Chain A
Amino acid sequence: MRLTQGQFSFLPDLTDGEITMQVQYALDQGWAVAVEFTRDPHPRNTYWTMWGNPMFDLRDAKGVMMEIDACRTANPDQYVKVLAFDSSEGFETVRMSYLVNRPADEPGFELVRAEGPGRRVDYTVRSHATARPEARHGA
C-alpha cells in the first residue's frame, strides 16, 4: 500500500532535483529544515526519530541534501520525511512536511474491529510494521 502522507504524496515521488528546490524554498523563507525517519508511519505517530538536529543556520539546500542522503543510505527500508519549521511569531509550527524515502515494500495498515458489550464495535487502525520483530528496535 502506497503511503500518502504530507505534501506531494499523491504525486510521483519527488526527484532529488525537486527535493532540492523545495528545501531551498523553505530555507529562503527562513524556516529550519529537519530530517526524520521511522518504520511505523501510523497517522497518529507524531514523533518520528530525528536524524540529527534541525538545521537552523543553513542557507543553501546542498547541506540538507547531504543529510537526507545520509539518512536514506542508513535507513533504506524506512520512511524518511523532511520538515520545515517556521519559528516566527504567530506560526511556531511546521509549515512543510513531505516524504523523501519509502521502503520498497510498504507494509500498510489494517483495520481492527473489537466487539464490546451490546455488540458495539470499536475500530482501530494498526500498522503492519509494528507487528514485525525488527520494529521493536528503533523507530
Chain B
Amino acid sequence: MSGLLLEVRDLVKTFGAGETTTHVLRGLNLRLEKGELSALLGPSGSGKSTLLTILGTLMKPTSGRYEMLGADMIGADDAELTVFRNLHIGFVFQFHNLLPDFTALENVIFPTAVREGRETASARARGTEILVRMGLVDRVDFPVAKLSGGQKQRVAVARALMNRPELVLADEPTGNLDRASAIQVMDLIAEINRDEGTTFLISTHDDKIAATCRRQIVVGDGRLTG
C-alpha cells in the first residue's frame, strides 16, 4: 500500500496573546505516506503532542495547510471533522483514556456504535475479533476498571482500530507501561501495520520504541529537524 495519506505545510500554532504568546509550531511541514510506521521524537515542549492533536483534527492550527486523503482539514467545520475523525483516524493516548464505566468490548466498539446509533451484532463481532487479536480473549466483557495497565492500553489500541482507520495517532502509548507491556503493545502495532497497512504515527521519548519504527521524525523548536 502506498500513496500520500496526509500533508501539512507551514503549520503554525500559537497559544495565548501579547506578551504571553507561546509559539509551539513554527511553520512545520510533514508528509505521511499510507502504510508508514513512524515515530515522532523530540524533547518535551517541542510540539509533538500539539502536532498529533492537530493531525487528529481535535485542534485547528493558527495558520498553515492540512490535507488528509485529499480533503481540506482546515476549512472543514466541527461536524464534518467529527465524521471524518470517526471514519479515518484512531487514537491511542498515554493514559489509555477508556470510558471507565464500560467493559472492554463496549469501549472497543464505541466508535462504530456512536456512528450507527446502536451496538450491532457485526460491531460486537468485529470488536471481539480485535480483542482476541490483542490477546484479551478472556477480558472481552470485563469492566476496564479491573484491567491492568497493559491490558487497558491494548484495549485502547483495539478501539483505535475498530473502524479500520487509515491513520492511528499514538501519543506516548507505552509511556505508562512496564517494559514487557510496552514491547507487547509495540509488537501488536507493528503487526497491524504490516498486516492491514494502517499508518501509525507514534509520539515517544523512548529511543528503543522509536527504533522499532521504520521512520523517525524529529521535532525541535516547532519544526521538523530530522
Do A and B pair up? The answer is: no
Task: List residues of A whose CB falls within 8 A of some B CB.
Answer: none
